[in-house]
Chain A
């Protein structure tokens, strides 16, 4: 009946070295569907493309190929100021990238919703001193219980951050070397050789 919450339909983002040197400097390929509300953990080294992935889902960064569909709407065809009614990117502090907006609003679609369906938390500040972590985790759970899809992206630097992901996430994405691999649970994620190498001393 209804369209999946989120479909990344053959999505690629490629940055080339320059106008004449067309060798890719960065690339990311992803093809996945998220049909049910859940909390998804996103891990990967710096520069692997975690934020680029979030930007494409939120519609601020257009894919080089493929389509991002949120609840059946192609996010690139929705009016710029209404895209966060479908998918909202909670930026990492000081890391908001602005992209050119070229189309006038009247040629584009309206968002079919008034409250975001996909919530993308980009490296939320989990500070163990102030005690807000618990409320943040409860909020992620509340969003999921309300039928939303929640992504939490983290580049863990301490063991407790892994514990947080293990506690709340039902599925994991590992972004590295231009591709996104999926793991059904934390044990599956932590069992992978490349993930263990990435986690280093933090690997459980």
Chain B
């Protein structure tokens, strides 16, 4: 049984169909990709999976349990974390503090949380362990606003990991990154792969082909193709586009 599953999702915005019969399955421990051109419905689909929109029809299942229509907070509490295409960080706080504030122990405290966070060795250790995973340990005491764009992305993933998720959703992680940034991000995600179930939305085919175990291609609000990177790459039009044989 898949860890996370969507069955026949249907969603309409007034007179427009935005999702039509979308079915997806994400296996535990795997890295799954959702790709499609701009405007295909990828983020809308993500928003249904993570509880921001309620589908008109269809089901979202977590470990076999129906969680359709639950609030984003309720879904997050199940152990499902997500990053956003536009990043949300506490700019005035340090890198360490951004992580520390997202840890469950911190969130359980009512007030003066930062002072208590620094005083709790277990919490400090966990925050540093996360910073190591995302390659930001050396920048722990820098303010978040001083980080270059690619490192901000890594920090955002760190913040998501601090929630100790079982499933991590990443929405267009390569957005705004150059080729160096992409390569570093791919390294970071490869290191996380296997230790946690990951789902990435991306329109950059090459990026997903290099990372994912399974990919679903979304267009016109529907799943138009599914398969392993090798199977999808074998499509003659994909080959032709990479080699630039057309035109």
Asked if A129 and B220 sit within 8 Å, CB to CB, the answer is no
Q: Which residues of B contact A158 (CB under 8 A)?
A: 247
Q: Which residues of A contact B36 (CB under 8 A)?
A: 132
CB closest residue in chain B, given A85:
B17
Asked if B224 and A130 sit within 8 Å, CB to CB, the answer is no
Contact with B along A35-47 (1 / 0, CB 8 A): 0000000000000
Number of A-B contacts (CB under 8 A): 60
Asked if A81 and B37 sit within 8 Å, CB to CB, the answer is no
CB closest residue in chain A, given B218:
A135
Mark out the residues of chain B between 1 and 58 whose CB falls within 8 Å of any chain A CB in the assembled complex.
12, 15, 17, 20-21, 36-37, 39
Interface centre among A81, A132, A134, A142 (most CB of B within 10 A): A132
Of B80-88, B134-142, B234-242, which binds chain A? B234-242
Given A84-B17, A127-B37, A128-B240, residue A160 in contact with residue B235 (CB < 8 A): no
Given A84-B17, A130-B37, residue A135 in contact with residue B217 (CB < 8 A): yes
Given A158-B247, A160-B247, residue A135 in contact with residue B241 (CB < 8 A): no
Asked if B39 and A131 sit within 8 Å, CB to CB, the answer is no
Asked if B205 and A130 sit within 8 Å, CB to CB, the answer is yes
Mark out the residues of chain A between 59 and 114 whose CB falls within 8 Å of any chain B CB in the assembled complex.
80-81, 84, 88, 90, 93
Q: How far is the CB of B58 from chain A (nearest CB, A)?
A: 12
Asked if A138 and B219 sit within 8 Å, CB to CB, the answer is no
Q: How far is the CB of A101 from chain B (nearest CB, A)?
A: 9
Q: Which residues of A contact B217 (CB under 8 A)?
A: 132, 135
Q: Decide yes or no whether B246 CB sits under 8 A from chain A.
A: yes
Asked if B247 and A139 sit within 8 Å, CB to CB, the answer is no
Q: Decide yes or no whether A133 CB sits under 8 A from chain B.
A: yes
Q: Decide yes or no whether B225 CB sits under 8 A from chain A.
A: yes
Q: Which of B15, B39, B225, B246 contacts A138, CB < 8 Å? A: B225
Q: What are the 5 tightest A-B residue pairs by CB atom distance, in nearest-first order?
A: A134-B237, A131-B241, A134-B235, A139-B224, A135-B225
Residues of A participating in the B interface, judged by any CB pair closer than 8 Å? 80-81, 84, 88, 90, 93, 115-116, 125, 127-139, 142, 158, 160
A sample of 19 more A-B contacts (CB under 8 A), given A84-B17, A131-B238, is A81-B12, A88-B17, A115-B20, A125-B37, A130-B37, A130-B203, A131-B235, A131-B237, A132-B37, A132-B219, A134-B236, A135-B224, A136-B219, A137-B237, A138-B224, A138-B225, A139-B219, A139-B222, A160-B246
